[in-house]
Amino acid sequence: MPRKGSSKVKTGCLTCKVRKVKCDEGKPHCRRCVSTGRKCDGYVPVASSTSLSWHRPRHLFPNVDDVKERRALQFFCQAAGPSLSGPMDPYFWTHLVMQFSTFEPAVRHSVVAISSLYERIHSESTSMQPIADNRLALFHYNSAIRDLKSMENEPLVLLVCILFVCIEFLLGNREAAIQHCKHGVLVLENAETLYPWTKEHLSPIFRRLTLFPFFFGFDYTSFPKLVNLDDQLPPSFESFEEALYYLDGNTVRTVRLVRRGDDYRLGDMRHKPVSSDLLSEQRKIKSLLGEWNSRFLDVLNKPSAVARSEETLCNINLKYEVSQIWADVAFEYDETIYDKYLDKFRSMVAQAAQLHLSKPHDLRVAPKFIFEMGFVALLFYIVIKCRCLETRLRALSLMKVLGVSRENLWEVAPMHAIGRRSVELEHDCLIDETDQLSTPPRWPGLPPDESRIRDSTTSPSLTIQTDAQGQEIIGRTTGFFKRKADGSIYIQNEFIPETWKVYNH
C-alpha cells in the first residue's frame, strides 16, 4: 500500500532495516554495523504528520572514485531522478532510489546507467540516433545484472527490477522490459506479504507497469496476474496515495477486460453473446470505479488534505474517465457507441487545455523521457475514439504540448502521426503540421460507422522510404482495422511519416 501520512516508522539505521537485522542504535553509527565492518548509512526518523522522510547521508557516494560515475550520479540527483515520475510523486526516484544507492552496488550501477542513457536522450538532436552504444551505461547495467544474481533480499530485487525496466525503456527494448516486469510480479507475490514497505512503495509501481504487456506484449495471457487486484475497496481512503493504489488496480483490471473482449469487437465472436463471466467482471469493474470516485472526492475534500498539483489531478481524472469508457464499451462492435461519451471527451480535453494554459513558461529544457504514463496515451485515446472533429483536433494538438517525447514505451511522434491519419481517414480530409484542416472534410460532423477505424497496429521499428520527389521520409508501417459493408473486418496498411522536429520540444 502507498505510504500514509500517519505511518509509524521504527527507529534504527537504514542498513539494518533493509537487511532485516536488529539495530543497536548507537548513534551516530549503529554499533552492529561498526562491529561487522559495514558502512552505516544513517537513521530513519519517525515520520512527520505529512510524509515519510528518509535520512540521507551528508556525503553521497563517498567511495565512488570514478569521475564519470560521480558525474552520472550527480546528474541523476539533479535532473533525471526528479523528472522520471512525470505527473506522479517523484518520491521513489528522489528518495528511495538515492538512499539505496549509497550501500547497494546493484542500485548504484543501475542509477549510473539510467542517468547516462537519460542524458544521452536529451543531448540527441533526433530520436533516430542510437543510444545502445553508450559504453558507460552498458558497463554499469552489466555490473548491476552481475550483482543482482547474488542478491537474496526480495525487496531489493524488486527495486532493482524496476530500475532494469527503466533501463530497457530508455533503450527501447519492449520485450526485455516486459520480461523484467514479469519477473518482478512473480517475486512481488511473496514479498508483498512479508515486507510491508514493499507493498507501500513498490507495489504501486508494479501495478502501473503491468499495463504495458496489454499494449506492447505479443502474448499478454502469459503475463502473471497481480495479487490483490480483486480486493474490495476499503470503506474510505486514508490517504491520497491509497486512492491511487486502488485506481491503478482498477485500471489494470479494466484493460485486461478490454483485451479479453477483443474477439467480441474485432474477432470471431462478433455479434455473439458475451460470456457470463466477462459480463460479471464488467459489472464489478464499473461498480468499483464508481465507488472509487466517491471515496477519492472525500479524500480531496478533507480539511487536512495536502494540495496536489493541477498536472497530477488532471492526469488522474483523465485516467479515471478513460477507464470508465473502456469498461463500458469492452465488448461493443459498433463504433458509434462512443458518441454517447462526447460530453465526457469534451470535458477531458477542456481540462487538459486548461492545464496547458495554466502551466508557467519554463525556460528549463523539458524532459524527453519519463518512466510513468503521462498524457500521450490518454489524449491519443480521445483522438481515436472521439468523433467530434473539433474536439479531437484539440486533443491532437495537446499531445505535443502536454506529452513527453517518450513516456516509457509510448512515443509521442508515432502516436501523434497515427492519430492525425486516423482523423484524416475517418473525416476524409487532410490535416497540416499545426493540426489544422488543410482540406474541407467530407464528414464535418460524426462520420458513419463504416468509415471509422476499429483499432490499429504499428511496427515498432522506424523505416525510411523515398517519396515521389526522391526525398527520404522517416516513418512506420501502420495497419488500420476497418469494417466492410458486410460487417467483416479488414486491415488497411499505410506508411505513416513522422515529423521529428515537431515533437522534440
Q: Name every residue whose Cβ is closer than 8 Å to that of residue 285 and which is 6 or more positions away in sequence.
A: 250, 253, 254, 257, 327
With cell 488543410, the residue in question is 438
pLDDT tens column, 94-112: 999 999 998 899 999 999 9
pLDDT of 128-179, one tens digit each?
A: 445 556 889 999 999 999 999 888 899 999 999 999 999 999 998 989 999 9
pLDDT tens figures, 251-300: 999 999 999 999 898 888 888 899 999 999 999 999 999 999 999 999 99
Pick the range with the lowest mean pLDDT from 176-180, 430-434, 443-447, 461-465: 461-465
| 34: pLDDT strictly greater than 80 | no
Spatial separation of the C-alpha atoms in residues 313 and 114, rounded to whole Å: 28
Q: What is the pLDDT of residues 45-93, one digit of tens each?
A: 332 322 323 334 335 555 666 788 889 999 999 999 999 999 999 999 9
Round to whole Å and give the CA distance between 211 and 220: 10
Smallest CA-to-CA distance from 123 within 362, 369, 363 is with 369
Domain limits, the chain: 229-310+320-326
**pTM of the complete model:** 0.85
- 187 burial type by CB count under 10 A (0-12 exposed, 13-18 middle, 19+ buried): middle
Closest alpha carbon to 19 in 220, 204, 153: 153
Beta-strand pair 406-407/369-370: parallel
Q: Is the pLDDT confidence value at 322 over 70? A: yes
In whole angstroms, give the CA distance from residue 348 to residue 369. 24
Q: How far apart are the first and last CA of the chain?
A: 36
Please report which helix (H) or strand (E) contains residue 496, including its range.
strand 489-497
Judge contact between 502 and 481, C-beta under 8 A.
no
Residue 359 has what DSSP assignment? S
Three-class DSSP category at 203: helix
Mean pLDDT of 360-381: 85
Structure confidence at residue 505 (pLDDT): 44
Report how far residue 483's alpha carbon sits from residue 334's, in angstroms, rounded to the nearest whole number: 10
* Long-range pairs of 215-218 with CB within 8 A, sequence gap ≥ 24: 215/255, 215/377, 215/409, 216/174, 216/178, 216/409, 217/174, 217/175, 217/178, 218/175
Q: What pLDDT is stored for residue 502 in this prediction?
A: 43
Cross-strand bridge partners of residue 458: 478
pLDDT tens-digit readout, 398-429:
999 999 999 999 999 999 999 999 999 999 99
